[in-house]
Amino acid sequence: MSEELAQKTEDLSLDSKQQSDKTVFDSKDEFTAKHPLNSRWTLWYTKPQTSKTENWHDLLKPVITFSSVEEFWGIYNSIPPANQLPLKSDYHLFKEGIRPEWEDEANAKGGKWQYSFRKGEATPIINDLWLRGLLAVIGETIEDDEDEVNGIVINIRKQVYRIGIWTKDCDESKLKTVGERLKKILQLKDEQKVEFISHDASNIRGAEAQIVL
C-alpha cells in the first residue's frame, strides 16, 4: 500500500486515543457519524456485450449513488476489483446527474485525460492505481478550484487497462493541472505520457491528442 493510501486509511481510523482514552465505539453519535463528500457520486458499470442486438444503453447501468467517505469504502470493498472484471467491461464514477456518455450535456463540450497500462506489467498494481484515482476524484484533490472533473473511468480491454478522467470542457489553461496530477496519481515516469483528447476528436480516426504531458 502506498504512503498516500496508508494515510487515507489512517485518517479513517476508529481509534481516537490521541484525544482521549475513549474510541468512537463509546459514543453512539460519533460511531454513526458520516464524513460527507463535497459532491454526490454515482458508480456505473458497463457489462460486456453478449448479443449484437445490445447497444450501449443496454450495457451501461447505474449501480449506486453515495455521498460520504464511509459509503464509498463500503461500496469499494463489496464490488469486484478492477483486475477481476471481464474483458470489455468498464467502471465509471461520475458526479450525480451526469451520465458517462459523450452526449450528456455536462460532457458534450469536454474530453478526457487518459493513460493505458499494459496488462502484464500493470495487473499486480492496477487495483491500487485505480483506488488512488477514485480517492483523488471524490476528494476533489485532482484539481484546485476549476470544477472541471466530471468523473473517472477504467476500461478493461484485451491488452490494456485504460484509466481516464472526463472533463467539462477543453480549456487548456484549466486542464493542465488535472493532467499533471493524474500523472502523479498513476505514478508515471517522465517518459510515460498522459494525453488529453476532446470527445469530438475521439470520433475522428487518427485524431491527435490536444495536450500531451
Residue 70 Ramachandran class (φ > 0 left, ψ -120 to 50 alpha, else beta): alpha
| pTM score, whole prediction | 0.83
pLDDT for res 28 = 53
- What residue segments make up the domains of the chain, in order of their start? 33-212
The DSSP-derived string for the chain is: --HHHHHHHHHT-S--TTT-S--GGG-HHHHH---EEEEEEEEEEEPPP-STT--HHHHEEEEEEEEEHHHHHHHHTTS--GGGSPTTEEEEEEETT--SSTTSTTTTT-EEEEEEEEHHHHTTTHHHHHHHHHHHHHTT-SSSS---EEEEEEEE-SSEEEEEEEES---HHHHHHHHHHHHHHTT--TTSPPEEEEHHHHTSTTPPPSEE-
Average pLDDT, the chain: 85
Which residues make beta-bridge pairs with 197? 112
pLDDT digits (tens, 9 = 90+) for 111-121: 999 999 999 88
Instruction: Measure the CA–CA gap between 127 and 129, rounded to whole angstroms.
Output: 6
pLDDT for res 52 = 79
pLDDT for res 72 = 96
CATH number of the domain located at residue range(s) 33-212 in this protein: 3.30.760.10
Which residues make beta-bridge pairs with 34? none
Phi and psi for 7 in degrees, rounded to 5?
-65, -40
> Mean pLDDT in runs of 10 for the chain (213 residues)?
39 34 46 82 93 81 96 96 95 97 95 95 92 97 92 96 97 93 95 95 85 94
